[in-house]
Amino acid sequence: MTALAPFRWAGFGAAALVFAVVLAVFLPALRNGFINLDDGVYVTANPHVLAGLTRDSFVWAFQTFDSGNWHPVTWLSLMLDAQVFGSEAWGFHLTSAALHALNAALVFVFLRRTTGSLWRSLFVAAFFGVHPLRVESVAWVSERKDVLSTLFGLVSLLAYIAWQRAAGAGTARGRWGVVSFACLALGLMSKPMLVTLPCVMLLLDFWPLRRTDGSIAGTWPLVREKLPFFALAVVGMVSTWMAQASVGAMGNTTAYPIGARLANAVEAYAGYLGKTFYPVDLTIIYPFRTAHAAGAVAAAAGLLVVLTVVAFAARRRQPYVAVGWLWFLGTLVPVIGLVQVGGQAMADRYTYLPSIGLLIVLFWGFAELVGHRVWLRRAVGGLVIVVLVVLSSATVRQIARWKDSETVFRHALAVTPDNYFAHHCLGLALAVAPGRLQEGIKELRAAARLVPGLPDAHLDLATALAEAGSAALPECISEFRDALRLDSRYVEAHYGLSRALLRTGDGVLDAIPELRRTIELAPGHADAHSDLADALALSPEGAAEAEAEYRAALDLRPERAGTRNSLGLLLVRSGRFVEAIVEYEAVLRAKPDFAQAHNNLANVFVRLPERQGEAIAHYRAALALRSDNWEVHFNLGLVLASEPDSRTDAIRHFETVLRLQPDCAAAREMLDQLRAD
């Protein structure tokens, strides 16, 4: 007992040190905000997450394929943050930083328990924790799934080790197997990248557990015991495929031909190796390229073959080399791009779990080279500490580049100048910033120029141009049409085009087919139903269809006061006053501060002699809400002018009309008549 105590306390102290140092390095992330890539889907525009941990949000987390993934545990984690911290970004960043620091400590605990080595485990954990490649997984709120899935993955591996080392075949040993299985399930429900974890368990059987010599005969029983784990991984792969397919995120053979994907995969492996040892020019996205230099691909492939041959040759004397190298190669397979999802060639976040394998090779190899030469061990130890300080400094600088959308995408353009995705996201960020619409349009134009075949680029440029005033409408309409030329079923482009055409003044007839097409593709599009009704209502022959469209919009969104108000106007024009009153009263029950609805209801009451008093009351209510509405002043003045005792008030209202609308001839005529009387 006393002999083991120093060992245990040293391990606990080292784990606590790793946690504290890594957390300190990543705390500057708390100064960062959200970014406009995915953070809206995951947090800022997600009502389920912002509602916190409610019954409805809990059910939604397990049912949704939002973001093209099925990861309910990640959703629940973000909901918990919203419950505790509200919608402020710092709380989400704090949780991610703490989870990452905990992962670094778990890497140490895992390696220490499996190998018994203190210093090698400590250095692997420290390098894993403070490396700049970790920044994307931690500083990007949307990548909570990385740190969370790895947490469960590491606990699953720890439980697996305990399962294999427990004596006998009793209940206690079986419980560790259940814990390992359950944690793998939770990890897959955080991010499906853990589908390769059962293969990592087989690697651990070879080293350091030494349960097999690598032969087929010796390995098959170990595979058989893990069949439930492999089955769970298959379920994770199927759910991921279904989720990605549901949002159309699976790469197609036209955009991503197999030859380009294979070449990219080879270069990506080499790229991850390079950035592990020389982490510079890191960015949020490295655009996928369909053209690859044959020499570069051959060199990358040669490097991978040589390293794999070396690892295989060393499997007997240095088994950690084979295990670490295969850990790196294997855990990257789900994200290496053989099945392309998204437009990235590679991503820093993909190295989160695979990097552990490389670091095992590196530090176990260093330890073997140094041997027992004390002076050399001290020199290498000092050098490692210096490198850790340098890496930590680089990580802090990289965290600052994730401050906000503009910062992260301007850095991306500095690193990859022709990065259409960075131009696109930067343009979106600037377009919604006060006074920076034209800067945003410039960036969106650059994105559309770089990738003219991408419908989204044209759609977002057109949407920004729609905010730039009437002078930009011709270009706006042209960009919407370009988006539809590329994707004739693009609902947002049909609807956006209809809105732009309606603004041209003489484009109503052209807008109606676009609105009909929008509704055909998206029958639940309440805005399109309402806008189509507005357009049809402009002509008497369209009144019946307009009413049907208004009612369709209200069936979808009963709370839409504006649509109900427009329906009331249509009913008034048809002489159906009683029905119009019903609609206006419904509007005012839902939205008592709707000034125009008060005015419109009063206009109906004016036509009914027995309800003149109610008309006056609603006119006054409208003016209490908007005293500068000259039309309401005029309408109220007309009603009061018919009452001998109210003519003074009528004069006051007509004077107000002329102050607000000096060229209103009708008000001047009424004023002159009242003064003459």
Beta partners for 346?
286
Give the pLDDT of residue 4.
43
**Average pLDDT over every residue of 425-450:** 97
C-alpha span between 535 and 543 (Å, rounded): 10
Percent of the chain with pLDDT over 90: 83
Q: Which of 368-377, 417-426, 570-579 has the lowest mean pLDDT?
A: 368-377
C-alpha span between 551 and 557 (Å, rounded): 10
Determine the Cα angle at 61 with ends 459 and 193, to 5°.
Answer: 80
| 46-77 tens-digit pLDDT | 999 999 999 999 999 999 998 888 999 999 99
| 359-369 tens-digit pLDDT | 999 999 999 98
C-alpha span between 106 and 128 (Å, rounded): 11
**Any idea what DSSP says for residue 168?**
T
Under the banding of pLDDT at 50, 70 and 90, the label for residue 510 is: very high
Q: What's the chain's average pLDDT?
A: 93
| 535-580 tens-digit pLDDT | 999 888 889 999 999 999 999 999 999 999 999 999 999 999 999 9
Q: Looking at per-residue confidence, does 343 or 19 come out higher?
A: 19
| 387-403 tens-digit pLDDT | 999 999 999 999 999 99
| 135-162 tens-digit pLDDT | 999 999 999 999 999 999 999 999 999 9
Under the banding of pLDDT at 50, 70 and 90, the label for residue 3 is: very low
C-alpha span between 470 and 459 (Å, rounded): 18
The answer to whether residue 255 scores a pLDDT higher than 80 is no
Q: Looking at per-residue confidence, does 67 or 318 come out higher?
A: 318
Cβ distance 366 to 320 under 8 Å?
no
Q: What are phi and psi of 88, to 5 degrees?
A: -75, 140
The residue with tokens 């080499």 is: 270
Under the banding of pLDDT at 50, 70 and 90, the label for residue 2 is: very low
Identify each DSSP E strand in 430-583 by its residue range: none
> Residue 83 has which token pair?
């419950």
Tell me whether strands 286-287 and 344-346 are parallel, antiparallel or unpaired.
antiparallel
The per-residue DSSP string of 309-324 comes to HHHHHTTTT-HHHHHH
- Give the up-direction half-sphere exposure of residue 23: CA atoms within 13 A in the CB hemisphere: 14
> Residue 347 has which token pair?
């991503």
- Give the up-direction half-sphere exposure of residue 285: CA atoms within 13 A in the CB hemisphere: 21
With residue 585 as reference, give the H or E element that holds it. Answer: helix 577-590
Give the pLDDT of residue 676.
78
The answer to whether residue 209 scores a pLDDT higher than 60 is yes
**Any idea what DSSP says for residue 33?**
-
**Average pLDDT over every residue of 501-507:** 88
**Average pLDDT over every residue of 168-194:** 88
Q: Which residues contact 80 (CB under 8 A, 6 or more apart)?
A: 52, 53
Residue 284 C-alpha from the chain's centroid: 13
Give the pLDDT of residue 171.
65
C-alpha span between 55 and 50 (Å, rounded): 13
Give the chain's count of helices (H) and strands (E).
Answer: 34, 2
C-alpha span between 3 and 7 (Å, rounded): 8
